Amino acid sequence: MSIHGDIKRVTTHTLQSMKDHGEKISMLTAYDFSMAKIFDDAGIDVLLVGDSASNVMAGHETTLPITLDQMIYHAQSVIRACDRCLVIVDLPFGSYQGNSKEALNSSIRIMKESGAHGIKLEGGEEVCESIKRIVGAGVPVMGHLGLTPQSIYKFGTYSVRAKQEEEAEILMHNAKLLEDAGCFSIVLEKIPAALGGEVAAALKIPIIGIGAGMHVDGQVLVMHDMLGITKNFSPRFLRRYLNLYDEITTATKSYIKDIKDKDFPNEKEQY
Ligand code: KIV
C-alpha cells in the first residue's frame, strides 16, 4: 500500500505521516550517482549514504576508516541523482564522538557541501547532547541503535544484539532518549523482532529496521546485499532480489571471450 507514492519530495514529515497511516517506509543505501538515479526513479522513499561505503565501495573490513571528506564525496554524487527521495548521510567514525561542537561542525559540512537532507549517527545516551545541538541548528537527525558497526571493536562480533532482557531495556531506554533529543527516526540493526516491534509501538517517530523484524515502520538494506553483489554475506535478515555477482561475472566472461575471439567489435560497432 502506497498512499504517499505521488508525493513530489519525501521529507522527514512524509516519513512521520507514513508511520501515522501505517505505510511502511522503504530505504536503501547508495553511494554513487548511477545507482541512486535508478533507486530514486523506482520510487524509494529514503536513500542512506551509509558509512558501509567503507566496506562495499572501498573494501575495508570495517566502517571505521572512511573519512568525512569521502562521505561528502559519496553524498554529493547521490544528491545529484535524487529528485524525490530523502537523502540521509552517515556521520563517519571520528567525526562526532569527540564533542557536540565537533558533531555539529561535521553535520554542517555534510549539509553545506553535499546538499543532503539530514544526517545519521550511532549511539544512545552518549550522543544525545550532540543530537540536540545538531537538531537545534536545523539539521534532521536519524539515530542508530542495536548493532552499531562503528563500535565493532567494543562488541567484538556482528552477532544479534539485545537478546538479553537487560540489554533490551537499555536499548528501549536509549530509543526514548533519542526521540526526546529530537531524532526524526531511528535505525535498529540486528535485534530480536519482538523488541523491534516494542520500540516501534512505544515511540512516535518512525523506526527503520535492518534485521529488526517485521513490526517496525520500515526496512533498509545495503544495496550490494539486496542486489546480490556481495557474495559471502548471508545473514538471516537478508533477502536478495538479484544475483548480480553471478550475472556480472557471466557478462564479463562473455565480453572477454568476444574480444579474444575477435567478435567484438563487429562491422556495425565501428566507425
Ligand atoms: O552504513 C550503513 O549502511 C548503515 C545501514 C546498515 C543502516 O548504517
234 and 252 housed in the same domain: no
Domain limits for position 69: 3-240
CB distance 142 to ligand 1 below 6 Å: no
CB distance 182 to ligand 1 below 6 Å: no
The three-point CA angle 25-31-35 to 5° equals 75
194 and 221 housed in the same domain: yes
CB distance 51 to ligand 1 below 6 Å: yes
Q: Which residue has the cell 537538531?
A: 135
Mind listing the pLDDT tens digit of every residue in the chain (271 residues)?
A: 688 888 899 999 999 999 999 999 999 999 999 999 999 999 999 999 999 999 999 999 999 999 999 999 999 999 999 999 999 999 999 999 999 999 999 999 999 999 999 999 999 999 999 999 999 999 999 999 999 999 999 999 999 999 999 999 999 999 999 999 999 999 999 999 999 999 999 999 999 999 999 999 999 999 999 999 999 899 999 999 999 999 999 999 999 999 999 999 999 999 9
153 and 25 housed in the same domain: yes
Q: How many domains does the structure of the chain reveal?
A: 2
Q: Which residue has the cell 514529515?
A: 13
225 and 261 housed in the same domain: no
Dist. CA 208–CA 104, nearest whole Å:
24
266 and 170 housed in the same domain: no
98 and 198 housed in the same domain: yes
52 and 153 housed in the same domain: yes
CB distance 90 to ligand 1 below 6 Å: yes
Dist. CA 33–CA 89, nearest whole Å:
14
Q: Could you tell me the pTM of the whole model?
A: 0.97
Q: Which residues are catalytic?
A: 189
210 and 253 housed in the same domain: no
Residue 222 Cα to ligand 1 midpoint, Å, equals: 7
Q: Closest ligand 1 atom, CA of 220? A: 7
Q: Output the residue whose Cα is nearest ligand 1's atom 1.
A: 50
109 and 202 housed in the same domain: yes
Q: Output the residue whose Cα is nearest ligand 1's atom 4.
A: 50
Residue 210 Cα to ligand 1 midpoint, Å, equals: 8
Q: Output the residue whose Cα is nearest ligand 1's atom 8.
A: 50
Dist. CA 204–CA 66, nearest whole Å:
32
191 and 249 housed in the same domain: no
